[in-house]
Amino acid sequence: MAAVAIVGLVSTAPAVPPAAAAETELEWTSCPAVHGVPASVRCAAVEVPLDHAKPNGPTIELLVSRIPARDPSQRRGVLMGNPGGPGGDAIAMFSQLRVPDEVRDQWDLVAVQPRGLVSGTPLRCDPITGEEPEIFTAAGKLNRERCARRSPGLGPTLTTENTARDIDVVRRALGESKVSLYGISYGTLLFATYATLFPQRVDRIVLDSGFDPGVVWNALLDAQTPGYKARVHAMMAWIARHDRVYHLGTTPLAVYRKWSNRISAEAGVPPSLVAPPAQVGDVPPGLRAVADQYIAGTDLTADVRARFENFVATLLTPGSVQANSGLLILTRAFAPDRNLWPVIAMMTAGTARKFAEPSPAVLEAATVSQDMQGTVLCNENRVPADPSMSLPAFITGYVTADPFEAPGFVYRSGMACAGAAPVTRPIQIRNRGLAVRPLQIQSLGDPQTPYRGSLVMRRQMDSHLITVAGGDHGQLGRGNRPLDAAIAEYLRTGRTSVTRVPEAPITASLTRFPPSLTVGATAW
């Protein structure tokens, strides 16, 4: 849909003045293979203070990736990116996402690997054996101790503020007086924090899929739960509309039943996720005369029945939990991205090939990412625990292993960070006189960064908002032409009149398995 609001009143002259001499001459070389980037992406190491309050104290090393502007004669400056997390691998961000041509031509695309991740100074932790009783009563304390043994001194420094300050060290090393920023998901909080701390160093800033900073962190995963359930139902409706391709049924409920049967075969127990609402097509032929009553009765008991059947089956089959099903885990993980829905359809139909085995280096990177994420969440948690959620947290987390309910309950109850008090209070983000008004992009129905919560970030940063239909999480690189044009216009001129765009097309094949798809450790 066309839009009418205008962002800012700024000059259309080139955004960034010529770069000053860099403080440090960076040595650009090939990037480590674990990141899977092409040779056109170059990497360099940058030293930053372990503690920014002690700039002359111990240092750690970070990795920085760069893709030079494709047309040097049009170069406007540096666009820094972060893909989210906490714990997302930044090195491959701009090579894995299809950046609009105009942006690719005019900006050096730079990404700073956050502290605590591989190819810099990774947070390495002792493994959990499963025998520690503290896993139920003091998980946060246990995690801090096992990381402190292998990475002494690093864990307490893993905060959004420190990562933002790291980025400014990199900016100086690049010799740039100002940088533009593109953050996705958690990257919106990271770059909004940077903009709050260093507003004079920000040229343009795009906040793609933001969220309410007030839910950091205990309440965020709880806020995601309803959206994830609804998103899976939307996925099943999409699969039903493609019954000629997948042959799994013409209604969402019919697809759910096939999906549930396959999960039961994999895990030994049925899933506890509620079934989608019944439709007329789900009514047995002999009951069509009382279709309304049949549908009402089916929907009324669906949630309780799914939970009860899973709970009883779990108790009666020791060692069998629904999280043992790869299909179930990937259904949640892939729900925010419609380009991955065909994978779930093919897995449910039994036509998907096996996933490629991840290399040891990729598995290690995934483990480091998961430990780093948990550390950040506990280090800067600002939402008090709710002990009344302890019983559902224990049941969903340690009895039924529900990947939809457990993350929200375990964090909201305080179990995830028990024994690990916050080490800092996050920076209160705000627009402190940014020269150019931020651009914020939000998708209706996005389960990972719910739309309503994102409006809080919009108010605090005084962002111009573009609403995207559909529900996909993260909008860069989806081939959404109206949105790509608006992003390029904003980065070039500091403004755009666009306020609404349709959802992006599904660009993935409906019948061919992605050749490069691997599955390693899965983080919440």
Cα-based distances in Å from 51 to 4, 26, 47, 57, 415: 46, 22, 12, 7, 29
pLDDT tops 60 at residue 6:
no
In the prediction, which pLDDT does 516 show? 66
Residue 517: pLDDT band with limits 50, 70, 90: low
**Predicted pLDDT of residue 297:** 84
Percentage of the chain modeled with pLDDT above 70: 93
- State the Cα angle at 329 between 328 and 333, rounded to 5°: 120
pLDDT, residue 18, reads: 40
- For the chain, the average pLDDT equals 91
Counting residues of the chain whose pLDDT is more than 90, the rounded percentage is 85
Instruction: Indicate the DSSP class of residue 383.
Output: S
Looking at 3.30.870.10, 3.40.50.720, 3.40.50.1820, 3.40.50.300, the CATH number of the domain 29-123+158-216+425-501 comes to: 3.40.50.1820
Q: pLDDT tens digits, residue range 347-363?
A: 999 998 888 788 999 99
| pLDDT in the model for residue 289 | 78
**Does the structure show a pLDDT above 70 at 12?**
no
| pTM for this entry | 0.92
Tens digit of each residue's pLDDT (9 = 90 or more) over 114-164: 999 999 899 999 998 767 778 888 999 999 999 999 999 999 999 999 999
Average pLDDT over residues 428-437: 97
Q: Name which of 340, 334, 341, 336 is nearest 472 in CA terms.
A: 336
**Domain ranges for the chain:** 29-123+158-216+425-501, 222-349
- Among 309, 217, 225, which Cα is nearest to 263's? 309
**pLDDT over 90 (residue 452):** yes
Model pLDDT for residues 68-123, shown as the tens digit of each residue: 999 999 999 999 999 999 999 999 999 999 999 999 999 999 999 999 999 989 99
Higher pLDDT, 417 or 120: 417
pLDDT in tens, 332-347: 999 999 999 999 999 9
Q: pLDDT-based confidence at 285, cuts 50/70/90?
A: confident
The answer to whether the CB of 43 falls within 8 A of the CB of 30 is yes
> pLDDT value at position 123?
98
Q: Which residues, 6 or more positions from 321, have their beta carbon under 8 angstroms from its beta carbon?
A: 267, 269, 314, 400, 401
